[in-house]
Amino acid sequence: MSKLDLSFNDLQSEVPKGNLSKTLVITLTSINAVVFSVSVLDVIVLIRKKLRKRHESQLISTTEELYERVSYHALSNGTNGFSEDNLLGQGSYGMVFNTQQSGTSRSFVTECEALRRVRHRCLVKIITCCSSINHQGQEFKALVFKLMPNGSLNGWLHPESDTLTQTNTLSLEQRLHIAVDIMDALDYLHNHCQPSIIHCDLKPSNIFLAEDMKSANKTLQNWNSATGIRGTIGYVAPEYGEGSSVSTQGDVYSLGILLLEMFTGRSPTDEIFNDSLHLHKFSENALPERIWDINCLLSVVSLGISCWKKQPRERIPIQDAAIEMHSIRDSYLKFAR
């Protein structure tokens, strides 16, 4: 358009004095700011996506470097089709099998990225892991631990043979050493890991004994505040049955049950227990004749009961329990030798 003739229109109005240009400037500036903000957000989103992909790629690469890859087929063959003959223990989170793997790396690795800092002499070390599909097309995940040659604590507390000998029973001194190791491991998980790690299924079948009869605990459990029942009947804290979140106090409760079982030889689900006789009362009556054994076991039973309180806030803190257990063992060794 080269010419605009308005002579035949009856339009009347005042000519704007600067406001139009200011309005346009403000409006355009606002639009530019919005466009710029959107552009910046797009850039931030793109950068974050790239960083996330790079981090995920690094995690995958790190995992592949840390863990020796092992398939479901290899584990199935190594356990003879997950035969009961190779079953070492079973808990609420899964089963533990003995497997023979050829060419398995001897290097120790941390359990996973979230547990990479968990290293303690009383915790079972992980050799490798498996994430695969089984023969039924179902997702299959497994952690491969170093085998503890003396099996689980449960096998020593409740041997299959009715004949008790020095080769299939634990002495009082050995039980004290094992109890100290268990408490040291729990103290480490609860108070020296960030975030705190909660075992959730502490019981004899999850405690394994090395060649020197020292204990090594299996830490497969959650460390978050998920709700629901965790653990095994007889050992699980009562508040879990009421829907409470998992807590370190729940582990302390299970520890109390475990202590009494270790020093009496009776599991909390034993057939002899009923409404009038339970593990607590049985423990008080199952004391030996020697005076230093009596004093030692009285202290252990008392400590177990301090852990085995119905209310979580009444249970002894694990660090205090560990210190007391060390003292009980050291006192026994001093006077018994």
Residue 270 sits in a domain of what CATH number? Answer: 1.10.510.10
Convert the pLDDT of each residue in 54-86 to its tens digit: 655 555 555 555 555 667 777 787 787 888 877
The larger pLDDT score, comparing residue 278 to residue 107, is at: 278
Q: What domain range is 262 assigned to?
A: 148-160+167-336
Residues 140 and 179 in one domain: no
- Please give the model's pTM, rounded to 2 decimal places: 0.61
Residue 134 resides in a domain: yes
Q: Are strands 139-145 and 87-91 parallel, antiparallel or unpaired?
A: unpaired
Rg over CA atoms, the chain? 32
- Give the count of domains, the chain: 2
Determine what percent of the chain is predicted with pLDDT higher than 70.
57
Together in a domain, 208 and 314: yes
In b/e form, how buried is each residue of 21-59, taking b as 16+ CB within 10 angstroms?
eeeeeeeeeeeeeeeeeeeeeeeeeeeeeeeeeeeeeee
| 71 and 136 belong to one structural domain | yes
Neighbours of 291 (CB within 10 A): 9
pLDDT of residue 125: 74
Q: Are residues 189 and 331 in the same domain?
A: yes
Residue 202 counted as domain residue: yes
Please check whether residues 226 and 239 belong to one and the same domain.
yes
Non-local CB neighbours of 85 within 8 Å, separated by 6+ positions: none
Same domain, 219 and 197: yes
Judge if 115 and 244 occupy the same domain: no
* 196 in the same domain as 227: yes
Q: What is the pLDDT of residues 20-62, one digit of tens each?
A: 444 444 444 444 455 445 555 555 555 565 566 665 555 555 5
Helix or strand run (H / E) with residue 291: helix 291-307
Residue 266 and residue 180 share a domain: yes
- Domain match, 313 and 175 both: yes
Task: Please state the φ and ψ torsions of residue 160, each to the nearest 5 degrees.
Answer: -65, -35
Could you give the residue numbers annotated as active site?
201
The predicted pLDDT at position 318 comes to 96
User: Both 176 and 227 in a single domain?
Assistant: yes
Cβ contacts of 63 within 8 Å, gap of 6 or more: 113
- Residue 100, token pair as written in the block: 């023979």
How far apart, in whole angstroms, are the C-alpha atoms of residue 134 and residue 277? 45
Kind of pairing, strands 215-217 and 94-97?
Answer: unpaired
